[in-house]
Chains A and B, each alone.
Chain A
Amino acid sequence: MIELKNLSKVFKVNNDEIVALKDINIRIDNGEIFGIIGLSGAGKSTLVRCINLLEKPTTGDVIIDGLNLTNLSKKELLKMRRNIGMIFQNFNLLEQLNVIDNVCFPLSLLKISKETQKEKAVELLKLVGLEHRLSYYPSQLSGGEKQRVAIARALATNPKYLLCDEATSALDPNNTQSILSLLKEINEKMNVTIVVITHEMKVIEKICDRVAVIDSSSIVEIGKVSEVFTSPKTIITKELVLPESTKINFTGNLGRKIRLIFDGTSTEESILAKLILETQTPINILYADTKELEGVTYGHMIVELPENKKSEEKIITWLKHHNINYKEEL
């Protein structure tokens, strides 16, 4: 379990004080994938770097498995870090070492025989699907492959925790998906607790159990992904969940707009088609971001209702009857 208690971080640059984290309180349970989302400059990287004390918090505590890291001696801290793997946006592989030596690297820091190192490295490279790239150098790998090597490397010391700072931000959508699946697999198979930092809601949705939203150095919302995703409470979360909503140009003679929220309580399939067929009323979709998970629809849709009180009523009644949440959209 990772506990951050009243954590704050202030950077002093010349005579300026930059508050990067303000009174952060988070508890991350063992076995979960915990997401931290926020816009650029919100303090995400600083937060995750405080977890393994790459950044020393100005005040507050970092407690991992009951051990307060801020009180550890340097030697104890270095030992503790072997229990917390970390991967980065730009991979940070050693470019003069080949794939297998990169994965051996964390083990080469310890007094472990070369054979044992190699054995472990090969095992991990198999896990990440790179057993055919052992003697390649990073410059010969694609971004997705590099991140796989970095994951294998981070796992070499059998850590209980894995910190991911924008691990998929430099990757294309396909590679992003496969890296996320890999992280999920590692979480499930090896029981590694994962902390995912990102600015993309898609990443959170895909693998996280819980999410914390960070805005201007503070946590503004925290909860299960399905809850935060379907009923965002703060403006910043809305913006992250509906990234385009603020940019949609609602010009023209528009009628009443409502946001349909599919939070999994309705088990109907192809809801919109049914709505239109059964009410015999045309509606205009302005924005949609929905997906089906295990046959249940999740997501948001902003629709424009017809300018006709009767048709409007019909639709609202239908929605209520079918247990679909909606909100007025301005």
Chain B
Amino acid sequence: MFLSEMLRDLWNNGLIQIGILETIYMTLLSSLIAYIIGLPLGVILNITDKDGLTPNKVINSILGFIVNIFRSIPFIILMVAMLPVAKAIVGTSLGNRAMIVMLVIAAAPYIARVVESSLKEVDYGKIEAAKSMGATDLQIIFKVILRESIPSLTTGAVIATVTILGYSAMASTIGGTGLGQIAIIYGHQRSNADITWLCVLLMVVIVQIIQEVGIYISRKSDKRILKSRNN
């Protein structure tokens, strides 16, 4: 098997290594910002549900509608449509900053749903018990609903991060950097299949690492699956 000249060049110049770091950086930063927006939205969706802590049909349906619209648009189209928005927010529609804006816009509604479904797993009985002790709604949200769903939220975050990683590769097609860009520019456009495959392989490895670490943390933090009595 021969490695193309170009792959060797890319590697020796450190471009692939930078691509890896850029992909990880874009993914983690976008995920973080998307969670800052998506988590509260997910909480609102959960508590305003008709079986939730503070049912509110109006808020729930409006928010649900907006989230669904964003969720139903394919990322690649949403990305193009949101270029002006990115420009308005970060002053440019090119480069990684603009990509992060688009990743966040695409991921936050998705995260809101992921969070909502995690929170739904909390048995209403626990909420009732807290109510019977005189807990306020805010205390119930933080001390019961969120705290009881930490393991499930962690699992959800892993899935969301992996999805955002995929989005970030797509974002490369219109100006983002990272492994996706390398695969397209050096691999696809210049017909170096080995570069494309290497990028694919590296993405798979990154996904695996995120998943393994995330699931491990989730399982470790879940007190429902303790098997033995250690102390």
Q: Measuring CB to CB, which residues of chain A are less than 8 angstroms from any residue of chain B?
A: 52, 54, 78-82, 84-86, 88, 90, 92-98, 105-106, 108-109, 135-140, 150, 153-154, 157, 163
Contacts of A90 in B (CB 8 A): 123, 125
In the complex, what residue of chain A is closest to B221 when comparing beta carbons?
A: A96
Asked whether, in the complex, the Cβ of B147 is within 8 Å of the Cβ of A84, the reply is no
A96 and B132 contacting across the interface, CB-CB below 8 Å: no
Please give, as numbers and ranges, the residues of chain B lying within 8 Å of A82 by CB-CB distance: 133-134
Most buried by A among B128, B134, B223, B231: B134
- B residues 120-142 with Cβ under 8 Å of A? 123, 125-126, 128-136, 139
A54 touching B128, Cβ below 8 Å: yes
Shortest distance between the CB of B18 and any CB in chain A (Å): 40
Could you pull out 29 A-B pairs where Cβ atoms are within 8 angstroms?
A52-B132, A54-B132, A78-B134, A78-B135, A81-B133, A86-B132, A88-B125, A88-B128, A92-B123, A93-B129, A94-B148, A95-B148, A96-B150, A96-B223, A98-B223, A105-B143, A106-B134, A109-B130, A109-B139, A135-B231, A136-B229, A137-B223, A138-B223, A139-B223, A139-B225, A139-B226, A140-B226, A154-B132, A157-B133
Q: Answer whether A109 and B134 are a contact pair too, CB < 8 Å, given A92-B125, A94-B147.
A: yes
Which residues from B are CB-within-8-Å of A95?
148, 223-224
The contact of B133 among A88, A96, A105, A139, by CB within 8 Å, is A105
* B residues at A contact (CB < 8 Å): 123, 125-126, 128-136, 139, 143-144, 147-148, 150-151, 221-226, 229, 231
A-B contact count (CB 8 A): 84
Report Cα–Cα, A54/B134, bound state, in Å.
10
Distance in angstroms between the alpha carbons of A88 and B123 in the assembled complex:
13
CA distance A40 to B78 in the complex (A): 53
Is B143 a contact partner of A109 (Cβ separation < 8 A)?
yes
Least distance between B219 CB and chain A CB atoms (Å): 13
**Lowest 5 CB-CB distances: which A-B pairs, in order?**
A92-B129, A86-B132, A81-B134, A106-B133, A92-B125
Task: Write out the residue numbers on chain A whose beta carbons fall within 8 Å of the beta carbon of B143.
Answer: 105, 108-109
Least Cβ–Cβ distance between A47 and chain B, in angstroms: 15
Q: Given the complex of chains A and B, what is the CA–CA distance between A94 and B221 in angstroms? A: 14
A contact residues around B226 at 8 Å (CB): 137, 139-140
- CB A11 to nearest CB in B, in angstroms, measures 13
> In the complex, A150 Cα to B126 Cα: how many Å?
11
If A95-B148, A96-B147 touch, whether A109 touches B133 (CB-CB below 8 Å) is: yes
Contact B231 A54 (CB under 8 A): no
6 other A-B residue contacts (CB within 8 Å) besides A92-B128, A106-B134: A54-B132, A78-B134, A85-B133, A88-B128, A96-B223, A106-B135
Q: Are A81 and B131 in contact (CB under 8 A)?
A: yes
Which residues on A sit within 8 Å (CB–CB) of B129?
86, 88, 92-93, 150
**Chain B residue at smallest Cβ distance from A163:** B132
Contacts of B123 in A (CB 8 A): 90, 92
Which residues of B have CB within 8 Å of A84? 132
Chain B, Cβ-Cβ closest to A139: B224
Q: How far is the CA of A88 from the CA of B229 in the complex (A)?
A: 25
Q: How far is the CB of A169 from chain B (nearest CB, A)?
A: 14
State how many angstroms separate the Cβ of A110 from the closest Cβ of chain B.
Answer: 8
Residues of A within 8 A of B133 (CB): 81-82, 85, 105-106, 109, 153-154, 157
List chain A residues, Cβ under 8 A from B224. Answer: 95-96, 137-139
Contact of A81 among B132, B147, B221, B222 (CB under 8 A): B132
Residue numbers in B under 8 Å from A80 (CB-CB)? 134
Nearest chain-B residue to A107 (Cβ)?
B133
Asked if residues B229 and A94 are in contact (CB atoms below 8 Å), the reply is no
Chain B positions within 8 Å of A86 at CB level: 129, 132
The CA of A137 and the CA of B135, in the complex, are separated in Å by 22
In contact, A92 and B126 (Cβ under 8 angstroms)? yes
Q: How far is the CB of A312 from chain B (nearest CB, A)?
A: 55
Nearest CB of chain B from residue A274's CB, rounded to whole Å: 51
Q: For the complex, give the distance between the alpha carbons of A138 and B225 in Å.
A: 10
Minimum distance in angstroms from A72 CB to a CB of chain B? 12
A80, A139, A153, A157 pick with most chain B CB within 10 angstroms: A139
What residues on A are CB-neighbors of B132 within 8 Å? 52, 54, 81, 84-86, 154, 163
The distance in angstroms between the C-alpha atoms of A249 and B44, with both chains bound, is 57
Question: In the bound complex, how far is the Cα of B222 from the Cα of A97, in angstroms?
Answer: 10
In the complex formed, the residue of B with least CB distance to A75 is B136
Contact residues in B for A136 (Cβ distance below 8 Å): 229
Give chain B nearest CB distance to A60 CB in angstroms.
Answer: 20
CA distance A97 to B150 in the complex (A): 12
- The distance in angstroms between the C-alpha atoms of A54 and B132, with both chains bound, is 7
Provided the pairs A54-B128, A88-B128, A94-B144 are in contact, do residues A109 and B135 lie with their beta carbons within 8 angstroms?
A: yes
